[in-house]
Amino acid sequence: MLAVAVAVAVMAPLAQAAPKRIVALTPFTANTLVGIGVKPVGIGQTLGGQKRLSKKLDGVRTLPLSHPNGPNMEQLARLNPGLVLSSPTWRKGAPTMRSLDIKVVMSDPDRIAGVAPEIRKIGKVVGRRKQARKLAASVKADIAAARKGIKSRPKVLVLLGVGRTPFAFLENSWGGDLVSEAGGDLLTAGLDEPGGFARISDEQVLKEDPDVIIAVPHADEDDIPGITKYMRDNPIWKVTKAGQNDRIYISNDNSLLQASTDTGKVIRSVRSRFLKN
């Protein structure tokens, strides 16, 4: 009986340590939470709209995000969270959050292989290990199923349009890794940057001569149509195999920019919409 009493005494603080009020700043962390049965009190605004968010998040307070700190700290403090699940994108805001006595955990995968481990990590932090293991296994199995039957590997250049300046998605970016997992032979023009994106000239695009170009406009909502038109009609890109074969595609959602728990679904979409493999 003494041993049982000691065990209960040790476990009680651990059970109480799981935070009850959580803010999730990314689609991945928000969807993971509701996937393991925890509803956050706030979520971050999502690039490209909220379509990829679970219906279980309907009605949850949405916080606008801005570089470099992420949420407005006054708005965040009003939600009185005990935990903020953030990402490296908003790293500079973490010290201010911690000064408000908020625990901050970075958890946003930048590779497909990191999805399941990060789900389990969140489950550990919020006291839902069993549910997280189940969700991680399900997501991992769906990713494996989505990759089956790849019949061709077209050469693909994925381009981020920041204004009229193109940046190539590299192998160490979420979108670059995702396209590779979907069966694309990712072209990077030999570029290498730790952040996963590198400036690329139109001449380099022409030299790479991709079979497929996937263009991702990235700007304020009002500027997206203009950037989309520029990328779709770029005269140099049209000379490439992708342009000659009408295989310049525009991706206007955030699926190539931000991870979530729907990775298998996104891989299927990339294969059917862009790679045709």
Least confident residue range of 2-16, 92-106, 181-195: 2-16
Supply angle C-alpha 225, 228, 232, rounded to 5. Answer: 140
Instruction: List, in order of start, the domains of the chain with CATH numbers.
Output: 15-145 (3.40.50.1980), 155-275 (3.40.50.1980)
How far apart CA 256 and CA 168 sit, in angstroms, is: 12
Question: Residue 236: what pLDDT?
Answer: 94
Q: Is the pLDDT of residue 265 over 90?
A: yes
How does pLDDT run across 60-85, given as a tens digit for each residue? 999 999 988 999 999 999 999 999 99
pLDDT of residue 8: 47
3-class secondary-structure state, position 62: strand
Long-range contacts of 241-246 (CB under 8 A, 24+ apart): 241/209, 241/210, 241/211, 242/157, 242/210, 242/211, 242/212, 242/213, 243/213, 245/211
More confident: 36 or 162: 36
Which one, of 45, 48, 71, lies nearest residue 60 by Cα? 45
Give the pLDDT of residue 17.
Answer: 62
Per-residue tokens: 271: 């294969």
Residue 1, pLDDT above cutoff 50: no
Task: Give the pLDDT confidence of 122-181 residue by residue, as tens digits.
Answer: 999 999 999 999 999 999 999 999 999 999 999 999 999 887 789 999 999 999 999 999
**3-state secondary structure at position 43:** strand
Q: Considering the chain, what is the average pLDDT of its residues?
A: 91
Supply 66's token pair: 């801005």
Q: How far is CA 87 from CA 28, 91, 143, 188, in A?
A: 10, 7, 22, 25
Q: How does pLDDT run across 5-32, given as a tens digit for each residue? A: 445 455 544 445 678 899 999 999 999 9
Q: What is the pLDDT of residues 233-253, one digit of tens each?
A: 999 999 999 999 999 999 988
What pLDDT was estimated at residue 219?
A: 67
Q: What's the pLDDT at 14?
A: 46
Tell me the percentage of the chain whose pLDDT exceeds 90. 78
